[in-house]
Structure 1
């Protein structure tokens, strides 16, 4: 559940105080190898040639018919969304360790439950409590960013770009919020798209199975770009997130965008 659904007075938000200039420390799937968190438990166009728009009687929103291949792509992504983070799952534990190693390669993680995690911007010593809102895919998104755009990952983690606020948004918690926001924006839990944004994204997904992860990376960099442009501090996080979402929606519907790499904000990413 996002902050918009909860009001502004529920729970507490963990801000990160800056120390100097950083922390001290086609139509088939091509397979490849909303807002700020409040507390640890509450959560936080291209012409579509093969998508037909229909409007049901009494329904104010259009309905988009999908090809069997697109249905398969959407189902694969929805299956990922259904996986909760399980602290007892060895695969999930290994993914969490991999995230730490990507973030702090020179610093050994003493335990999966450790005060060290706060260095990455988790709310407490156990990241699994923050994953409840975004599920395992929110960890996969962070790992995808770290592995495919390591330079941008470190810039975001260490808050290296621009003139930063005294009180910064926490990197990891913001990451889980972005996953949650994108799921809402793209209406990914619906049986089929009910918005032009969702239908447009599904076209990209049918050509690149990693489209959600790539859009996540673009969104994270865009969020930080907006943060700096708005001279924001942690109390402004919701406003920055909303501004980020509005720009993403505009860019996704531009006529000359035929793949995610065409989004103007893609240029913010560096490998």
Structure 2
């Protein structure tokens, strides 16, 4: 296994530790156990173009597998190609994306360098943001940049912590963003050959209809996470609990019967342009 840290220490302890299983295991390994109720509950979703192939071995070791249309398979492979790209500070494209993120966040403040104490203002752990990308890879930077460009008000509200009654010890914005990318990849099982959860299968239908679905879901999730943070009156050391609560809420919303696209998610209404 490979440890991929999305965020690190400070304030007396580690911020968020994330663990990622190697691709060879996730994409080619055997299915793990899940509840039999999930298999039984999948029937309602078959009408949305998702066919279920359930490989039953034992009642305690059954996990549904969903066949993909050729279009869905192609979209998943493109997304997986993005997920596979590690951030590399020597690549000009990666450098340019990082600079673009800075200018989107602080348009009136000149960046002094890709390694600078200025990055702490955005919520990176230290002066070199590249050390924080281990958990999410280059796609986590792309997610942040998408958020800044398409939902600038929501992006800035979260960056500057401008909404709600904030705690004295807040979560670091950028590191939280990397963790959200990782959480979505894990929750949707996006490194598997085909989806093995209802949430993942539902998302891939949305992805085949909207090529920026992952980036859009990222923005929705970031706003939802912040709402959970405020409603739980959370502080720095509560971040893991907030992320778990966010994941549960997002899973519930993805399985609502009247949700046929990401814009139908109740939490989509939290975003403002």
TM-score normalised per structure 2: 0.85
Residues 148, 12 of structure 1: alpha-carbon distance in 2 compared, 3 angstrom cutoff: closer
Who is 1:92 aligned against? 94
Query: Any idea what SS the aligned residue of 2:65 has?
Result: strand
Who is 2:9 aligned against? 13
Who is 1:189 aligned against? 191
1:12 Cα deviation after fit: 5.0
1:221 matched to 2:198? The reply is no
1:49 Cα deviation after fit: 3.5
1:47 Cα deviation after fit: 4.9
Does structure 1 retain, via aligned residues, the 8 Å contact 2:206–2:213?
yes
Q: How does 1:90-239 map to 2 (within 5 A)?
A: 90-239=92-241
Who is 2:48 aligned against? 49
Q: Which has the higher contact order (CA 8 A, sep 6+)?
A: 1
5+ residue gaps in structure 1?
A: 16-34
Provide the C-alpha distance between the structure 2 equivalents of 1:77 and 1:161, rounded to a whole number of angstroms. Answer: 32
| Offset from partner CA, 1:170-203 (integer Å, 9 cap, x none) | 0000000000000000000000000111000000
Residues 138, 238 of structure 1: alpha-carbon distance in 2 compared, 3 angstrom cutoff: same
Does structure 2 retain, via aligned residues, the 8 Å contact 1:36–1:174?
no
4+ residue stretches of structure 1 with deviation over 6 A? none
1:56 Cα deviation after fit: 1.2
- Paired residues, number: 244
Who is 1:37 aligned against? 16
Provide the C-alpha distance between the structure 2 equivalents of 1:228 and 1:57, rounded to a whole number of angstroms. Answer: 42
Who is 1:64 aligned against? 66
Query: Any idea what SS the aligned residue of 1:167 has?
Result: coil
Does structure 2 retain, via aligned residues, the 8 Å contact 1:48–1:200?
no
5+ residue gaps in structure 2?
A: 21-43
Does structure 2 retain, via aligned residues, the 8 Å contact 1:95–1:139?
yes
1:36 Cα deviation after fit: 4.9
Does structure 2 retain, via aligned residues, the 8 Å contact 1:226–1:244?
yes
1:37 Cα deviation after fit: 2.7
Provide the C-alpha distance between the structure 2 equivalents of 1:50 and 1:192, rounded to a whole number of angstroms. Answer: 14
TM-score normalised per structure 1: 0.85
Does structure 2 retain, via aligned residues, the 8 Å contact 1:84–1:136?
yes
1:75 matched to 2:74? The reply is no
1:211 Cα deviation after fit: 0.3
Query: Any idea what SS the aligned residue of 2:48 has?
Result: coil
RMSD (CA atoms) = 2.2
Query: Any idea what SS the aligned residue of 1:168 has?
Result: coil
Residues 36, 199 of structure 1: alpha-carbon distance in 2 compared, 3 angstrom cutoff: farther
More helix by share: 2
Provide the C-alpha distance between the structure 2 equivalents of 1:156 and 1:200, rounded to a whole number of angstroms. Answer: 28
Who is 1:31 aligned against? none
